[in-house]
C-alpha cells in the first residue's frame, strides 16, 4: 500500500501540473521516474489515466474520476499530519483524568487551573469515581491518568506518590464526649460511628485496621458523600471516621474537633497512576510532568 501511495502522489502532481517535466521538478525526481510511475499505476489499475496533448498531458475520464478521490484522500492525510503535529505541540488534544470528587477539589484544582491557563487548547475531561473505579477505567484505556489511593497490585502501573492521607476520628464541637481524653480502639468502636459506604477505599482501609486488632466496626450511619459525613458529624449525629487532609478547613473553623487516640492508623498515599506499557499522549505526558515538577518544587 505504501508503494501505491507514492504512485498516487506522482499521479496527483502530474494531474495538477498537466506536464511531466513540471511534475518531476516539483517532486524532485527525474522525468523518466515520473513516466514510469504513471505507467505502473495504469498497469495496476488496467486503465489509461492520461492522454497526451500539445502542452503535455490531460486526464482521461477515468483519470478525472480517480483524481477526485486521490485529491480528497491526500487532503485528509495532510490534515491528519497537521492535526498530529498540533497535538504533539499541545495546540489541540484531549486529556482525560479519573479522580474522586474529593481528590479533584482538594488536590487537583490548582494543577488543572494552571495547566489550562498554559495549554488552553487542550480539552480536559474529569471522570469522577473512587479509587477502584478510576483504576479500572485506567486499565481499560478510558482515562489517561488516574489519581487513586495506593493500588494493591501496581504491577502494570507507573505510580507517582502525590500526598499522604491520615485517617482520624472527629465529632462536632458540641458533641458529648471528652475531647481531652485519649481514646482506645475499643472506645472508638463503641461510639455511634458515621462512616463512608463500604465501597470507599478509605472505609475498607479503616475496617482492615480494626480487624487486624480484633475489632469489628458497626457504623450507625453509612454515607456515599464525604460532605454529608462532615455535615452529620458537625450537627452531632456521632463520631466520624474521616481523612484528615480533607477536613482541614472544618477543623480550622472549629466545626469539627479531632479525638485524641492511643493508636495511629498508618497513612496511605494518593498516587498519580498511568499504564506502564502504554505510551502517554502528548497532553497526558505534559500533565504528568507538570504535576511532578510542581510537587518537586513544593518539597
Q: Is the pTM of this model over 0.75?
A: no
The answer to whether residues 149 and 271 touch, using CB atoms and an 8 Å cutoff, is yes
With CA atoms as reference, report the closest residue to 291 among 139, 131, 102, 118: 118
The answer to whether residues 160 and 154 touch, using CB atoms and an 8 Å cutoff, is no
Q: Give the three-class secondary structure for 256.
A: strand
Q: Where are the beta strands (DSSP E) in the chain?
A: 50-53, 56-59, 94-99, 123-128, 145-149, 157-165, 167-172, 182-183, 193-196, 221-223, 239-243, 256-258, 260-261, 268-275
CA 99 to chain centre: 9
What is the residue whose three cell numbers read 476520628? 169
Residue 211: CB atoms within 10 A of its CB come to 11
Full set of structural domains in the chain with CATH:
2-88 (1.10.10.10), 94-163+269-298 (3.40.190.10), 167-266 (3.40.190.10)
pLDDT values of the chain reduced to their tens digit, one per residue, 299 residues: 455 888 999 999 999 999 999 999 999 999 999 999 999 999 999 999 999 887 889 999 999 999 988 888 887 777 767 666 656 666 667 889 999 988 999 899 999 999 989 888 888 999 998 888 899 899 888 899 999 987 767 778 899 999 999 999 999 999 999 999 999 999 999 999 999 998 888 898 999 999 999 999 999 999 988 889 999 999 999 999 999 999 999 999 999 999 999 999 999 999 999 988 888 888 888 899 989 988 877 65
In this predicted structure, what is the pLDDT of residue 1? 46
With CA atoms as reference, report the closest residue to 225 among 187, 251, 194: 194
Amino acid at each position: 500500500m505504501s508503494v501505491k501511495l507514492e504512485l498516487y502522489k506522482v499521479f496527483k502532481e502530474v494531474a495538477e501540473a498537466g506536464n511531466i517535466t513540471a511534475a518531476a521538478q516539483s517532486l524532485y525526481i527525474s522525468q523518466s521516474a515520473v513516466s514510469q510511475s504513471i505507467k505502473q499505476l495504469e498497469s495496476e489499475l488496467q486503465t489509461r489515466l492520461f492522454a497526451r496533448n500539445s502542452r503535455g498531458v490531460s486526464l482521461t475520464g477515468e483519470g478525472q474520476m480517480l483524481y477526485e478521490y486521490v485529491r480528497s484522500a491526500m487532503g485528509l492525510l495532510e490534515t491528519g499530519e497537521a492535526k498530529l503535529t498540533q497535538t504533539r505541540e499541545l495546540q489541540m488534544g484531549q486529556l482525560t483524568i479519573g479522580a474522586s470528587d474529593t481528590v479533584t477539589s482538594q488536590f487537583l484544582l490548582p494543577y488543572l487551573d494552571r495547566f489550562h491557563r498554559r495549554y488552553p487548547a487542550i480539552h480536559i475531561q474529569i471522570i469522577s469515581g473512587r479509587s477502584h473505579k478510576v483504576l479500572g477505567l485506567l486499565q481499560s484505556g478510558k482515562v489517561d491518568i488516574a489519581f487513586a489511593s495506593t493500588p494493591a497490585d501496581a504491577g502494570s502501573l507507573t505510580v507517582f506518590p502525590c500526598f499522604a492521607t491520615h485517617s482520624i476520628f472527629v465529632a462536632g464541637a458540641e458533641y458529648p464526649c471528652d475531647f481531652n481524653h485519649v481514646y482506645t480502639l475499643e472506645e472508638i468502636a463503641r461510639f455511634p460511628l458515621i462512616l463512608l459506604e463500604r465501597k470507599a477505599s478509605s472505609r475498607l482501609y479503616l475496617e482492615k485496621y480494626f480487624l487486624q486488632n480484633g475489632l469489628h466496626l458497626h457504623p450507625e450511619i453509612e454515607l456515599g458523600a464525604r460532605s454529608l459525613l462532615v455535615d452529620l458529624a458537625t450537627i452531632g449525629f456521632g463520631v466520624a471516621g474521616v481523612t484528615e487532609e480533607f477536613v482541614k478547613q472544618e477543623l480550622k473553623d472549629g466545626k469539627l474537633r479531632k479525638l485524641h487516640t492511643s493508636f495511629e492508623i498508618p497513612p496511605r498515599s494518593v498516587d498519580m497512576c498511568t499504564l506502564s506499557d502504554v505510551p502517554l499522549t502528548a497532553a497526558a505526558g505534559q500533565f504528568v510532568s507538570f504535576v511532578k515538577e510542581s510537587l518537586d518544587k513544593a518539597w
